[in-house]
Every structure is written in C-alpha cells, then in structure tokens.
Structure 1
C-alpha cells in the first residue's frame, strides 16, 4: 500500500532533501584529551577558553548549533591545570608560580580560563564530567606549573582515557 501526499509542505521538504547533498550525522565525537603543544592538541579544530564551565557549555551549544555533522564536530575546552599527589602540594606549586610573576600562561589571563588545582584523580573526574555534561567534546590541558604537572598528566591521567579509546 502506497500513500501519496501532495501537500505544499511535503513537496517543499522533498525539494530541500533532493537539493541537499551534504551528509547529516547524529551523535557526538569521542572524548579526546591532549596537552598543549602535543600533536593531539594540534588536531583540535576549535578550542575555547571560558571562565566558567557554564559559559563553556553555552559556547559549545552555540558552535554546534550551526553544524549538520555533529558526530564529527568537536569543541575543546582549555583547562589550566596544576596537579600533585595532595591538593595542598598543587596549591603550593601554583602559589610559587604566581609569586615568581608568571601567573599568566600561554592560555591567557587566568581569570578567563577554567582552572583546576588538585589531584590527578580529581582531574580525571573533572574531564569525565566536562564530557558527560556536554560542556566540551575534548579537553586541552594547559599546565600551570610546567613540567611537574605535565609529567603527572602523562603518567596518571592520559592513560585512563587512552585505554577507554582502545576499547
């Protein structure tokens, strides 16, 4: 049994569909985590810096609203990070960097960028929450205190997300 409709709306919709040759995808890109300066960071097409997670979520929604290929459209959030085995140690490392006069990192003014100071476990949880709450599809980590945080991120945080990607 075939039902045909000749309403003007259906004809217009058929014409639009026939004229549109673009691919429409539904979904979301897989979570990606990278450290600033790495090859993975260079592959992130859009990186936003916002002062709050809510502002980042709004920005992501606005950027994604204009795309038809949502499964392949990724918005990354830059997060300034200082991690240590204990939160107090991480706070002390940030304080020493601030006292040295280099509180502004390559990401810009700290007041304009989400900042996390704490433990590797807490950072991994924050990254998962950022993805789950659709704040961002990727996270670009900007170490505040240099190589100490970068080393910990590589050793303790990134492996948690790489094993998930391989599964």
Structure 2
C-alpha cells in the first residue's frame, strides 16, 4: 500500500521506499535487480514475477532503467533526441520532456508498482545529467549514490 504525503513524498507499507539513481553513480552491487522493458506494463509484469519468488517483499527491490532526455521545454528535449542514432534505442522505457514531467513519471512508476526504484540513463550526455542532478534528484526522497 502506498500513501502520498502532503509534501508529495510516497510512504510505502510492505515494500521498499522509492529510490532513484543516475546511471554510473552507483556500483552495480549496490543496485537492486534492474529490468529493461519497452513499456511500463511489461516492466510491471516483470516486477510482479520477480517479487513473487521473494519471501521478504518489504526489502526486495526491482529497478526500472529509464532512458532520459530532459530540457526546460519539451521541444528542446525532442530536438536533442532527434539527433541520436537509432542504434542508441536501448529497448527500455524512454522519457523525453521536462524535469517536472520526469518527476511525475518517477512517482507514477512507484505508485503504480511498476518498479521500486528507477535508474536514469541520460540520452544526450551532460546536459540531461546536469539537469537530473540539479532538478530531479534533490526532489526525490531516496537517492542512491556511491558509497
């Protein structure tokens, strides 16, 4: 069960708290199981299957990898992605838009039990990475960082 608090933090009962990490910031052994799926529905099914085998679901996390390009305006983010070669399509959920839209997606992924954690992979390099560090991670309650 998930409860949204007045300050938009999500409180979970019987499952791990939401965690968000930027790809490359955390050693692989500190990450939960990471899935790559083309749709949120596929990711939700994968999470359900993986958690079904766990006896301690409150401490069993499944992370969804999300490819991201964010900019102050959605059109700018779309323009940045339009320049990318097709072979960079990683076969996982992709978000192209604004930082606030990304925060909404992250919260929705957790609230809908699509995943317990989100691993963000910048598509357009340092521009998106910097925006994630400055605008997205500070707004998320549990950020996974290297120890």
TM-score range, shorter chain: 0.7 to 0.9
Shift of 1:79: 0.3
Q: Where does residue 7 of structure 2 map in the other structure? A: none
Distance in 2 between the 1:37 and 1:160 partners?
A: 20
Distance in 2 between the 1:165 and 1:55 partners?
A: 24
Flag the structure with higher strand content. Answer: 2
Distance in 2 between the 1:65 and 1:151 partners?
A: 37
Q: Which moved more, 1:121-130 or 1:39-48?
A: 39-48
Q: Where does residue 17 of structure 1 map in the other structure? A: none
8 A contact 2:20–2:142 mirrored in 1 = no
8 A contact 2:35–2:65 mirrored in 1 = yes
Which residue of 23, 26, 51 maps to 2:38?
A: 51
Quote the RMSD (CA, aligned, Å).
Answer: 1.7
The answer to whether the aligner puts 1:144 opposite 2:131 as a matched pair is: no
The answer to whether the aligner puts 1:84 opposite 2:63 as a matched pair is: no
Paired residues, number:
131
The answer to whether the aligner puts 1:156 opposite 2:135 as a matched pair is: yes
Distance in 2 between the 1:104 and 1:141 partners?
A: 18
Shift of 1:42: 4.8
Give the unaligned 5+ runs of structure 2: 1-12
Which residue of 50, 56, 59 maps to 1:72?
A: 59
**Larger Cα Rg: Structure 1 or Structure 2?**
1
Seen in structure 2, the aligned counterparts of structure 1 residues 41 and 132 have a Cα distance that, compared at 3 Å, is farther
Distance in 1 between the 2:82 and 2:28 partners?
A: 27
- Larger RCO of the pair (alpha carbons < 8 Å, separation 6+): 2
Flag the structure with higher helix content. Answer: 1
Give the unaligned 5+ runs of structure 1: 1-25
